[in-house]
Structure 1
Amino acid sequence: MIPELLSALPLTLGIMFVAMIVGFFLALIATALRVRRVALISSLVDLYVSYARSVPVVLQLFVAFYGLPLITDHLGYADFFTANVAAMIGLSLYHGGYLSEVMRPAFLAVERGQHDAADSMGYSFWQKMKRIVGPQALHFALPGYGNAIIYLIHNVALVMYIGAADVMATAHLIMERDYNQYQFGTYLVLAVLYSLLCGVAWLIIRYFEQRHAKYSSKSAARVKFTSV
């Protein structure tokens, strides 16, 4: 069964990476609008984040799968919307909302004096984020970001409920074909596969945490030496 399961792995990884990238940029935009408190827009973004965090992920996938075609059909793109596209959109919206709740506390954890110093130097909001606040907020956000990635990997398994032929859906087809004779073995292979994906994600995030910690310590030592 392993070759059949691995044949569906590219689709699973594709959905995961699209949701990871799109969700990251959605989280950046949502966080920026929430911390700046733009009238009405920030309230709508708060509503989006609340939806992403409060509604079960499988229900969000159903909303994307059955709701978005009502819009695309009127625009003349009925054939464009498939289960795979719905899975990418639903998981991207979920990941973006969840990740915004990781980024916003990290932004607020940076000392207020850092914000005031950047403002006094005439930095724009985006310059302040890039040069001063962003690198410091990254230190606080990395652990939570790692958890968000692992949760996303777990939730990719739910796309089978809207008809996406991912690894989990392929496993169920294999079990039905074999009259459910090898359920334990199939689920065990799936458990190992998802564990490996989560392990790789954890190692990557751990690498960036250690690298950022070394960079922060060197920067702090440089600042201390310069001040002396």
Structure 2
Amino acid sequence: MIPELLSALPLTLAIIFVALVTGFCLALVVTTLRVRRIPLLSQLADLYVSYARSVPVVLQLFVAFYGLPLVAGLFEMGDSLSAAAASMVGLSLYHGGYLSEVMRPAFLAVERGQHDAADSLGYSFRQKMLRIVAPQAGHIALPGYGNAIIYLIHNVALVMYIGAADVMATAHLIMERDYNQYQFGTYLVLAVIYSLLCLIAWLIVRFFERRHAKYSSKTVAAKKTFTPSL
């Protein structure tokens, strides 16, 4: 059964990758709107985050699978959406809303003095975010971001309910074909696959955590040894 399961792994990885990238970009936009408190847009962003956090992920997948074709039909853009595309859209919306709740507290955790110092130097909002706030907020958000990736990998198993032929759906097809003779073995292989995916994600996040901590320690040491000239 292992070769058959591995044949469905590329689709699972593709859904994870698209949801990671799209959700991250969406979370950046939503977090910016929520932090800057732009009238109406901030309220809409809060409503979206509430939807992503409150509605079960499997229900969000059903909404994407059945709702998006209706919206596309109103604009004469077609009335069908593949299960794989619906999975990417649904999980991207979920991941973006969940990740926004990781980014926003990290942004607010940066001391107000850092913002004031950047403003006094004449930095624009974009420059302040990229040069001052983002490096500090990113280090704070890394553990939560790692958890968000792992939750996303777990929730990819739900795309089988809308017909996406991922690893989980392939495993169920194998068990039905073999009259459920090897259920334990099949689920054990699935557990190994998902565990390896989560382990890889954790190792990548851990690498960036250590790298940022090493860079921060060097920066602090340089500041301590620096003596301003009179």
TM-score bucket of the superposed structures, by smaller chain: over 0.9
**Higher deviation after alignment, 66-75 or 169-178:** 66-75
The residue matched to 1:179 in structure 2 has which SS?
A: coil
Residues 144-182 of structure 1: per-residue CA shift (max 9 Å, x gap) = 000000000000000000000000000000000001110
**Does 2:224 align with 1:224?**
yes
> What is the SS of the residue equivalent to 1:165?
coil
TM-score (norm 1): 0.98
Contact 2:69 2:80 in 1 (8 A): no
Aligned to 1:77: 77
Aligned to 1:143: 143
Cα distance per residue 1:91-131 (max 9 Å; x no partner): 00000000000000000111110010001111111110100
Task: Please state how far the C-alpha of 1:139 moved relative to its aligned partner.
Answer: 1.1
For the 8 Å contact 2:28–2:100, the answer to whether it is kept is yes
- The percentage of aligned residue pairs carrying the same residue is 79
Distance across 2 between alignment mates of 1:23 and 1:90: 10
Residue 227 to residue 90, structure 1, CA distance change in 2 (3 Å): farther
Shift of 1:217: 1.0
Aligned pair count reads 228
The Cα shift of 1:77 comes to 3.2
Q: Does 1:13 align with 2:1?
A: no
- Between stretches 134-143 and 79-88, larger displacement belongs to 79-88
Query: What is the RMSD computed on CA atoms of the aligned residues?
Result: 1.1
Gaps spanning 5+ residues in structure 2: where?
none
Gaps in structure 1 of 5+ consecutive residues:
none
Distance (whole Å) between structure 2 residues aligned to residue 200 and residue 167 of structure 1: 17
What residue number does 2:128 align with? Answer: 128
Per-residue deviation at 1:80? 5.8
What is the TM-score of this pair, normalised by structure 2? Answer: 0.97
- State how 1:182-221 maps to structure 2 within 5 Å: 182-221=182-221
SS across alignment from 2:164: coil
3-state SS in 1 of match to 2:77: coil
> Which amino acid counterpart does residue 165 of structure 2 have in structure 1?
A
C-alpha distance in 1 between matches for 2:8 and 2:78: 25
Match in the other structure for 1:92? 92
Secondary structure of the corresponding residue to residue 76 of structure 1: coil
The answer as to whether partners of 1:11 and 1:166 remain within 8 angstroms in 2 is yes
Q: Which amino acid counterpart does residue 174 of structure 2 have in structure 1?
A: I
Deviation at 1:219, TM superposition (A): 1.4
- For the 8 Å contact 2:153–2:197, the answer to whether it is kept is yes
Alpha-carbon distance in 2 for matches of 1:150, 1:44:
27
Q: CA deviation at 1:216?
A: 0.9
1:224, distance to aligned residue in structure 2 (A): 2.4
Q: Sort the Cα spacing of 1:34 and 1:207 in 2 relative to 1 into closer, same or farther, 3 A.
A: same
| AA at the equivalent of 2:193 | L
Measured in 2, the distance between the counterparts of 1:77 and 1:178 equals 41
**2:129 partner amino acid:** M
* Aligned-partner SS, 2:39: coil
Separation in 2, partners of 1:168, 1:12: 9
The residue type paired with residue 22 of structure 1 is: T
Question: 1:164 matched to which residue of 2?
Answer: 164
Quick one: distance in 2 between partners of 1:219 and 1:96? Answer: 32
Equivalence for 2:104: 104
- Cα shift at 1:71: 1.3
Is the contact between residue 19 and residue 89 of structure 1 (CA under 8 Å) also seen in structure 2? yes
Q: Secondary structure at the match of 1:68?
A: helix
User: Does the aligned pair in 2 maintain the 1:72–1:81 contact within 8 Å?
Assistant: no
